[in-house]
């Protein structure tokens, strides 16, 4: 049996192929084992919970953190007991870890050495993806609000931009890590352009972590996160304006994030691709040059090619916010039709025989056992949502 020698920690950030890497790790535990590596958790959820505990984000009940099960400690204990020389961790939230979390990370695995993997991606691909992520999580910024905020994160409406750069700018992400680690403990993997073979990212990840790529089964990846088209994104945004805050989070996840977004909107033929407009590349190029220069000068290992971070000019034929009302109405009709059929399916085609309220006004969501207050007409939700990446 060997001692645990190193822990490779893939810290994302979000939208840089993390789901792909994680599914490869979860689905290939035997191959990992053969190569002297281990990945914690029977499913990814356990792994994610462990990282949340490391970052001090315990689920609180009655105002008290439930300290009885520290999943992070369990992860480290299991890695030590496994006999593997290498433990793998991959969790994109780690891109926002603060200095104390990094310190806990380093000391909890000592004397094993921590190695960080940062996957870097062309910003022009990240921005539309980040907008969609916001839309899939109850928020409703328009594309213009979002892109303005990315461009001017210090401004009054810069909250989306601050969040985005806090997650994606390697200078900001890696600063807390560099307080406790040497630059040569950090590897930057560049995410290949989408035209490249899908396993190239995996090969690079393996190169960064000392794994041998060939034996891994690429079939472990069940689904990617397909992109929404422009009309589909606008429809989701409008649904959020009406629904967010009026249903519990689990119901939103079930009905909107999973059913409407994944089962209906993602599956229809994309109306038009979301991409930046030509003029937006001009200011973004400068940010990308800064990203490249920082990585090149910091003394990190680089796997891939920093040239891949130069925004690939592929201007969209339409602006993301150019969905017309007839297009929106047509997709909304489709979603409503699909939702009614889904309700019918869930009722197993039984007729609903519960209380009907035709004669009374519609009850408030609270009276239905649903939480929250309805948003005011036209209200943007961003003003009252706490971002996890903001301290406190």
Partner 1 sequence: MGDLQRVHVHVGPPKSGSTFLQSVLFANRAALRTAGVVVPGPDWPTHRRACVQLMRRAAGVPARLPAGAPPRDRWDRLVREVHDSGAHTGVLSAEQLSVAAPHSVAAVVESFTPAEVHVIYAARDLAAVVPADWQTRLRNRVAPTWREFCASVREPRGRRSLGGVFWDHQDPAAVLPRWLRHVPHDRVHVLTVPRAGADPALLWRRFCAASGLEADSYSLDVPRNNISLGGVEAEVLRRLTARVAGRLPVPVYTDLVKFFVVREVLERREQSFRLVLPEAEHAWLDPRAEQAIRYLREAEFAVEGDLDELTPVHRPSTRAPDDVSEAEVAALLEEVLALTVLETARRQGGSKWTGARSVDPQEGTSDE
**Residues binding partner 1 (CB under 8 A):** 14-15, 18-19, 22, 44-45, 48, 91-93, 133, 136-137, 222-223, 225, 238-239, 241-243, 246-248, 250-251, 253-256, 258, 260, 262-263, 324-326, 328-329, 332-337, 339-344, 346-347, 349, 351-352, 354, 356-359, 361-362, 365, 368-370, 388
Give the shortest CB-209-to-partner 1 separation in angstroms: 20
Give the shortest CB-372-to-partner 1 separation in angstroms: 11
| Nearer to partner 1 (CB atom), residue 223 or residue 373 | 223
Asked if residue 233 lies in contact with residue 320, where contact means CB atoms within 8 angstroms, the answer is yes
Asked if residue 360 lies in contact with residue 171, where contact means CB atoms within 8 angstroms, the answer is no
Asked if residue 185 lies in contact with residue 114, where contact means CB atoms within 8 angstroms, the answer is yes
Place of tokens 């094993």: 112
Cα(8)–Cα(20) distance, rounded to whole angstroms?
Answer: 17
Say which residues have a Cβ less than 8 Å from residue 127's Cβ, sequence separation at least 6: 146, 147, 150, 164, 276, 284
Q: On the CB side of 335, how many CA atoms lie within 13 Å of its CA?
A: 26
Give the shortest CB-103-to-partner 1 separation in angstroms: 23
Cα(118)–Cα(187) distance, rounded to whole angstroms?
Answer: 6
- Concatenating the DSSP letter of every residue in 59-81 gives PEETTEE--S--HHHHHHHHHHH
Give the shortest CB-107-to-partner 1 separation in angstroms: 25
Give the shortest CB-22-to-partner 1 separation in angstroms: 7
Give the shortest CB-79-to-partner 1 separation in angstroms: 20
Give the shortest CB-108-to-partner 1 separation in angstroms: 20
Closest CA to 303 of 192, 221, 224: 192
| Nearer to partner 1 (CB atom), residue 293 or residue 368 | 368
Rounded to the nearest 5 degrees, what angle is found at the Cα of 289, between the Cα atoms of 283 and 293? 155
Give the shortest CB-173-to-partner 1 separation in angstroms: 17
Give the shortest CB-191-to-partner 1 separation in angstroms: 16
| Nearer to partner 1 (CB atom), residue 251 or residue 312 | 251
Give the shortest CB-223-to-partner 1 separation in angstroms: 7
Asked if residue 21 lies in contact with residue 10, where contact means CB atoms within 8 angstroms, the answer is yes
| Nearer to partner 1 (CB atom), residue 50 or residue 106 | 50
**What tokens does 42 get?**
């029977």
**What tokens does 9 get?**
């920690």
| Nearer to partner 1 (CB atom), residue 52 or residue 80 | 52
| Nearer to partner 1 (CB atom), residue 35 or residue 71 | 71
| Nearer to partner 1 (CB atom), residue 15 or residue 281 | 15
Asked if residue 50 lies in contact with residue 72, where contact means CB atoms within 8 angstroms, the answer is yes
Place of tokens 């990308």: 288
Cα(221)–Cα(20) distance, rounded to whole angstroms?
Answer: 6
Q: Is the dihedral of CA 121, 306, 95, 385 positive or negative?
A: negative
**What tokens does 229 get?**
């088209």
| Nearer to partner 1 (CB atom), residue 110 or residue 368 | 368
| Nearer to partner 1 (CB atom), residue 241 or residue 306 | 241
- Concatenating the DSSP letter of every residue in 325-344 gives HHHHHHHHHHHHHHHHHHHH
| Nearer to partner 1 (CB atom), residue 84 or residue 239 | 239
């Amino acid at each position: 049996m060997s001692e645990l020698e190193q822990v490779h920690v893939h810290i994302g950030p979000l939208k840089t192929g993390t789901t792909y890497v994680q599914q490869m790790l979860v689905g290939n535990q035997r191959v990992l084992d053969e190569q002297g590596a281990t990945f914690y958790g029977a499913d990814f959820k356990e792994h994610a919970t462990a990282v949340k505990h490391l970052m001090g984000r315990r689920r609180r009940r009655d105002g008290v953190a439930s300290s009885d099960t520290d999943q992070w400690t369990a992860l480290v204990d299991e890695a030590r007991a496994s006999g593997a020389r290498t433990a793998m961790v991959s969790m994109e939230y780690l891109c926002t870890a603060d200095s104390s979390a990094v310190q806990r990370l380093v000391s909890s695995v000592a004397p094993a050495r921590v190695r960080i993997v940062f996957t870097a991606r062309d910003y022009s691909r990240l921005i539309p993806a980040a907008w969609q992520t916001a839309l899939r999580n109850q928020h409703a910024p328009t594309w213009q609000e979002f892109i303005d905020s990315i461009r001017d994160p210090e401004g009054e409406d810069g909250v989306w931009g601050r969040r985005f750069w806090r997650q994606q700018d390697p200078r900001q992400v890696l600063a807390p890590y560099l307080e406790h680690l040497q630059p040569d403990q950090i590897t930057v993997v560049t995410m290949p352009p989408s035209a490249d073979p899908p396993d190239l990212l995996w090969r690079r990840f393996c190169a960064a972590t000392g794994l041998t790529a060939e034996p891994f089964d690429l079939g472990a990846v069940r689904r990617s996160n397909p992109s929404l088209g422009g009309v589909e994104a606008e429809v989701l945004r409008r649904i959020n304006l009406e629904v967010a805050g009026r249903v519990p989070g689990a119901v939103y996840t079930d009905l909107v994030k999973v059913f409407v977004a994944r089962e209906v909107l993602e599956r229809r033929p994309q109306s038009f691709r979301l991409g930046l407009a030509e003029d937006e590349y001009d200011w973004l190029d400068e940010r990308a040059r800064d990203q490249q220069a920082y990585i090149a000068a910091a003394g990190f290992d680089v796997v891939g090619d920093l040239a891949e971070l130069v925004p690939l000019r592929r201007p969209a034929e339409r602006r993301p916010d150019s969905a017309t009302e007839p297009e929106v109405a047509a997709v909304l009709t489709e979603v409503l039709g699909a939702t009614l059929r889904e309700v019918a399916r869930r009722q197993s085609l039984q007729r609903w025989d519960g209380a009907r309220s035709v004669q009374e006004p519609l009850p408030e969501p609270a009276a239905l056992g649903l939480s929250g207050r309805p948003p005011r007409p036209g209200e943007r939700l961003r003003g009252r949502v706490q971002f996890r990446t903001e301290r406190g």
